[in-house]
Structure 1
Amino acid sequence: MRIWYDPLGLALGVALDQVLGDPRSSAHPVALFGRAAAKLEKSSYGDTRWRGVAHVGICVGGATALGVLAQNSGDRTVRTAVTALATWAVLGGTTLAREGTHMAEALEQGDLRRARARLPHLCGRDPSRLEAPELARATVESLAENTSDAVVAPLFWGAVAGVPGLLAYRAVNTLDAMIGHHSPRYERFGWAAARLDDVANYVPARVTGLLTAALAPAPAKALRVLRRDGHRHPSPNAGRCEAAFAGALGVTLGGTNVYGGRVEHRPTMGDGPKPDVKDIRRAARLTRAVGLAAAGLAVLTAWSLRRRRPG
């Protein structure tokens, strides 16, 4: 039956990610997209919002068009295989959890140099002066936020819009990481990338928060922290994920962060102590659990939607 093409492809893609993870290869599709976007930026850049809108439109439009062509390029076997490969290419859940585990190992061994070197694999925070407690907090917060960005959000858009949704979402999220931040160069040019990423992650972040609360040892407590603190973060989406993780793990997240010399003070979320090393492993396990729950939900959603409009 044609309604099974996309759900089966999503499930196979999740299985590939579980087995293979995210290979560190220059030929990886996301890396190829990033290089193409960076090359285009050399000609499209201008210190205006409209230049940024045009840049994002070309990059995301191109990725979406490629997804439409790929999804309609063959018979049912080809479509399933394409969906599986696209899902694997845009997911980062297994690698995310592994990075958390690597950080935990480094801190358990007291190797601050190795831990600081690993932090850029997870976030853009300046690790040079961070001690073990702040490295642990940064890791837990990054695991929380990226559970949505790297797992739940791509699965959501894959379930809703198939291969075009998978590729378009990853294009939006990659552009946000490249240009959607506050700096003299990107304050205006990166505005469109940042706002579009906020829109693309609005629903997935809230799904992540609810799944996290549901899988917590004390779901009611986690849900209470999510509802109370989720809106306090400056990001309209990251706060939902971090608050849910704070409630699920029984820790307090938030504080002062340094990004390339820029200092940001984040409101605190949660009721417990600051996270320590053992909480990193707990957060990594929670990331895996939320990812698997999101995969099952995505497969069911895709099947339900395709059943209503097969083909």
Structure 2
Amino acid sequence: MAVLLALTLDWFLREPPARLHPVVWMGAYLNRVGRKLTSRPPRSALLLGTGYWLMGAVLVLAVYGALAWQLEQLADSLKLLFTALLLKPLFAFRMLLDEVNAVEKLLEESLEAARTRLSHLVSRPAEALSPNEVRESALESLAENLNDSLVAPLFWFVLLGLPGAALYRFANTADALWGYRGSWEWAGKFAARADDCLSYIPARITGLLLCGWRCPWKALWREARKTPSPNSGWPMAALALFLGIRLSKPNVYVLHSSGRLPTAQDLQAGLSRAIWVGWSAGLVAGLCTWNSGQAILGLF
């Protein structure tokens, strides 16, 4: 029930103010400790990056473990309400949908404006993308972030309660800020690997949900392996196969190469599918934690 209430809050109220947002606080910590990491020699950067990640993870687990313990002292109705309020900022389902939809709406008016809005969603340069490439990138971001922003936090919430969901969001935020090659190759290596590990099962669940029961499993497995990431290919390939479109990143990968180029209708269909998957994942997570009353929280 707490999961469904948190999803409802997310759907109607969107994100809390930045000053009250725990993921913003996580990002502030990572930015602060990471300021000079990239100027370090490789060995020092790796050790410090790993150490700072572990320190942040321990702090997140301690804070949310204490909150979870406090929740266990409350009456059931209050525990339900406050669990939902604490869980909601740990995923960003409606914001993801709104951002992807905004890209398409801007694309109808101005390619330049759509590219600028897309840059909020993807790390790749967007300045020279064609309209079709903008849609491809938006759909890829929708699929990948459906896992990162919703399915994975709910997965870890089911297993480990609020501390699990919070740890995942910390790991995913660290990967988003540090998990790059180039200057971050060594400083962000542990953060990237930690995110890979924590996302491994959820990414495959997201892919299976996006693709549906009639999904060509062998094709999904084959296409998902084409991306450099061990995880992001699963939801992206699943959405490409479900919609019958191709998704690509120039000089990196092409998913479902025989598919058509995505249209505005495909993007709306992708959004509809993401909504179905998101609420289905929330329902399953809610059912998994219904009878226990979040009993797993008592472990913390």
TM-score if structure 2 supplies the norm length? Answer: 0.90
Match of 1:227 in 2: 221
Check the 8 A contact 1:223/1:247 in 2, yes or no. no
Match of 1:64 in 2: 61
Is 1:33 matched with 2:20?
Answer: no
Cα offset for 1:281? 1.4
Q: Which of 270, 273, 298 matches 1:283?
A: 270
Check the 8 A contact 1:108/1:277 in 2, yes or no. no
Cα offset for 1:78? 4.5
Is 1:19 matched with 2:41?
Answer: no
Question: Per-residue displacement from partner, 1:258-289 (whole Å, max 9, x unpaired)?
Answer: xxxxxx52243353112122222111111111
Partners of 1:99 and 1:273 in 2: CA distance: 23
SS of the residue corresponding to residue 220 of structure 1 reads coil
Q: Which of 250, 262, 269 matches 2:256?
A: 269
Question: Per-residue displacement from partner, 1:143-176 (whole Å, max 9, x unpaired)?
Answer: 0100100010011111111110111111000000
Of stretches 56-65 and 69-78 in structure 1, the one that deviates more from structure 2 is: 69-78
**Residues 105/193 of structure 1: CA separation in 2 closer, same or farther (3 Å cut):** same
Partners of 1:305 and 1:80 in 2: CA distance: 12
Is 1:104 matched with 2:107?
Answer: no
Cα offset for 1:304? 5.9
Partners of 1:308 and 1:226 in 2: CA distance: 36
Partners of 2:297 and 2:177 in 1: CA distance: 37
Cα offset for 1:79? 3.3
Query: For 1:146-165, what aligned pairs fall within 5 Å after superposition?
Result: 146-165=145-164
SS of the residue corresponding to residue 254 of structure 1 reads strand
Query: For 1:118-157, what aligned pairs fall within 5 Å after superposition?
Result: 118-157=117-156
Count of aligned residue pairs for this structure pair: 291
Of stretches 173-182 and 23-32 in structure 1, the one that deviates more from structure 2 is: 23-32
RMSD between aligned residues: 2.1
TM-score if structure 1 supplies the norm length? Answer: 0.87
Structure 2 unmatched ranges of 5 or more: none
Q: Percent identity?
A: 31
Partners of 1:285 and 1:190 in 2: CA distance: 35
Of stretches 225-234 and 91-100 in structure 1, the one that deviates more from structure 2 is: 225-234
Structure 1 unmatched ranges of 5 or more: 1-7, 257-263
Check the 8 A contact 2:27/2:173 in 1, yes or no. yes
Check the 8 A contact 1:233/1:266 in 2, yes or no. yes
Match of 1:5 in 2: none
Cα offset for 1:225? 3.2
